[in-house]
Structure 1
């Protein structure tokens, strides 16, 4: 009875005698007063970490102690723990299923990308000739077409100032990284001094990225990132776009032939920007002006790189063979007389007198001036027996500067430069198209096509911003 009363007293204060200490068969030296401390849920501090009673008891006591403790607890706790364990197992199963589905989606996406890479690699090797008969185009043209087509796929439907779709942005980055990776293997050998262990200095050849790619490709990548950043900056804007509609006014930019507001003609599909009835705020206009200036500078940089790459491309023999015999017949008598008789030639004054009314007229004039320029250069070099155009370029410095053909060629070059500066949105001339068509240099093809698409995107951004400014000014004038 005394033992029973002692046991009840120990239970009341939260202690339980250890079954191990009360076992009569136990031969250990542990005394009968030893016990295991078990904390109930009611005595757990709200500031402490929750402890699993079953786990804590089992970690310190024998299995018999664990079963003894479970029977002494209140009857409602065991079903609660079973329900908790059931929910935990169910949640783990759901998480496991979700992880499996995610892994399957990732594998499917990876397989899809792999198939796309296989397709592009096959087209690159076949030269876009799916028959496999070897009649495809060269690698340079294939890569150039791939960059142009990728630009049309990603940005072709993007006709407004808004962030690029995340999927298209990822597609653009992934595909361009793949196409531009070719440049990592276009190298040139340069001499380098190397010191041997005995102190002797020897000259060795090391490979590095070709100089034109080393200079221009990082710049183009930077311009690319800046253009994407400009589009991303138009997240929350005060203006929006209407899919259909028009503004009853016609306007053209000075020196540009792009129609800004009329949507009922050839540009009916272009969305029309809309602004609030009170117009844009000063903060919004300041943001637009800043982004327009940035895009304009990017356009100039991309155009400069493109012109530099095109100037380094070889002129095809087919173009030289198609040149007219007389530069005067190509350029026309009025322009020829002014270029030949004037002592101080002014290309800007000549362009003002021509009154060019359309982009088609400007492009036609550029083709005729360029053809006349190379005709006069060829005549100036006819005294030399070397006919290759690369040799002609090297011999230009030896020509008499007072030669008539040389003077006309220089003036034609300055006129062509002023024409392109006045109308920067001009399409490529016949010579540029011919160079791209017959180019075999893969590095030049990548630089030319990459700079060309960035130039087009920058020009479009500037034009879209000017559309918004025009609508804003029209709305303010109506008020």
Structure 2
């Protein structure tokens, strides 16, 4: 009852008009549920049957509205006389039908990976880290996380188990990240966000970078990106956001230019074609560099554009898929970080190689 009240009222229990949309309400509910259930994973260990049961029961409640999103699709029906006829039949929307089972399978797989770190399978002890150990311990930049105590060298059976967990976690991480990027790309860009962008891309990245993106090849742009000094995830998020913004600016100019094509004189066609080509190349290069940064730095926070898309999105199905893939990606990233710390402490970084 409380859950349905939140959905209907949009978390505005005064009954006023300030409530969130159902899409945003479900997105926030999934995010908050994951945070309350798992918190910060300080070590790798089984989460406990009660926690797993609570999570699966409540996530099932949150996904109930999503599973009611249906569309009419043509199917072939065989009649009693053996003939066939095409009829329209209600089915769960295709993206939900394909993605949701995969995400739930990834969720179960993450529980299985955590469950392996027990006395019977992967026996690794953990100790509390202290701020003073920050400089000396492997991965000391995250001193608040518990430190693994592992033998050197690793026994062969333990190394094999860790390699299998690393492979599984990487696979889940890739799937969740890919689905999250795909879902966000299908969300509409809010008009208010587009109107907030400057008219000229050079105001965002400068004239030299803007010119390079429009004139240079993809390889040259990749070489430029490789020379950039990247300090942390916040800087990466800012860079991704800048590339996304200039791609939107150039896409808007490209669409406006194409609309003027019918009125263009024959004498101006050459200049028209050149401008169109530059805008399209610049847009594609900006999108490509943003994708490279996102894949190379999955820990980077969401950009201003992505946050705006999620907040203004009204599609309940997309919101639920985005939130679930995001929290799964976060859990998989935390597990992988612990696996990496174990390999660092055991001088076995070769286990991280594909």
Q: TM-score, normalised by structure 2?
A: 0.87
Tell me the residue number matched to 1:178: 61
Tell me the residue number matched to 2:117: 234
* 3-state secondary structure, aligned to 2:75: strand
Tell me the residue number matched to 1:300: 174
Matched, 1:275 2:150: yes
* 3-state secondary structure, aligned to 1:128: coil
Aligned pair in 2 of structure 1 residues 250, 376: CA closer, same or farther (>3 Å)?
farther
* 3-state secondary structure, aligned to 2:314: coil
Contact 2:153–2:346 at 8 Å: present in 1 too?
Answer: yes
Q: Distance in 1 between matches of 2:333 and 2:67?
A: 29
Q: What pairs with 1:408-419 in structure 2 (closer than 5 Å)?
A: 408-419=282-293
Q: Distance in 2 between matches of 1:342 and 1:442?
A: 40
Query: Offset of 1:470 from its aligned partner?
Result: 1.3
Tell me the residue number matched to 2:39: 156
Contact 1:261–1:467 at 8 Å: present in 2 too?
Answer: no
> Which of 249, 270, 273 pairs up with 2:136?
249
Of stretches 358-367 and 215-224 in structure 1, the one that deviates more from structure 2 is 358-367
Q: Distance in 2 between matches of 1:186 and 1:344?
A: 40
Tell me the residue number matched to 2:5: 122
Query: Offset of 1:192 from its aligned partner?
Result: 3.1
Tell me the residue number matched to 2:352: none
Query: Offset of 1:311 from its aligned partner?
Result: 0.9
Query: Offset of 1:452 from its aligned partner?
Result: 0.6
| 1:12-34 CA-partner distances (Å, limit 9, x unpaired) | xxxxxxxxxxxxxxxxxxxxxxx
Q: What pairs with 1:210-359 in structure 2 (closer than 5 Å)?
A: 210-236=93-119, 237-245=122-130, 246-249=133-136, 260-262=139-141, 267-276=142-151, 278-343=152-217, 345-359=219-233
Contact 1:238–1:280 at 8 Å: present in 2 too?
Answer: no
Contact 2:213–2:281 at 8 Å: present in 1 too?
Answer: no
Q: Distance in 2 between matches of 1:192 and 1:435?
A: 34
Contact 1:347–1:414 at 8 Å: present in 2 too?
Answer: no
Matched, 1:424 2:309: no
Tell me how large the CA RMSD over aligned residues is.
2.4
Q: Distance in 2 between matches of 1:301 and 1:184?
A: 21
* 3-state secondary structure, aligned to 2:298: coil
Aligned pair in 2 of structure 1 residues 344, 459: CA closer, same or farther (>3 Å)?
closer
Query: Offset of 1:249 from its aligned partner?
Result: 3.2
Of stretches 201-210 and 226-235 in structure 1, the one that deviates more from structure 2 is 201-210
Tell me the residue number matched to 1:451: 325
Query: Which residues of structure 1 form unaligned runs of 5+?
Result: 1-117, 252-259, 387-398, 475-479
Aligned pair in 2 of structure 1 residues 197, 147: CA closer, same or farther (>3 Å)?
same
| 1:285-309 CA-partner distances (Å, limit 9, x unpaired) | 2211220121011100110111111
Q: Distance in 2 between matches of 1:346 and 1:222?
A: 40
Q: Distance in 1 between matches of 2:344 and 2:288?
A: 33
Higher relative contact order (CA 8 A, sep 6+): 2
Q: Distance in 2 between matches of 1:416 and 1:194?
A: 46
Query: Offset of 1:433 from its aligned partner?
Result: 0.6
Contact 1:223–1:454 at 8 Å: present in 2 too?
Answer: yes
* 3-state secondary structure, aligned to 1:170: helix
* 3-state secondary structure, aligned to 2:64: helix
Q: Distance in 1 between matches of 2:339 and 2:312?
A: 37
Query: Which residues of structure 2 form unaligned runs of 5+?
Result: 261-271, 349-354
* 3-state secondary structure, aligned to 2:117: coil
Query: Offset of 1:164 from its aligned partner?
Result: 0.8
Query: Offset of 1:384 from its aligned partner?
Result: 5.2
Q: What pairs with 1:321-400 in structure 2 (closer than 5 Å)?
A: 321-343=195-217, 345-383=219-257
Q: TM-score, normalised by structure 1?
A: 0.65
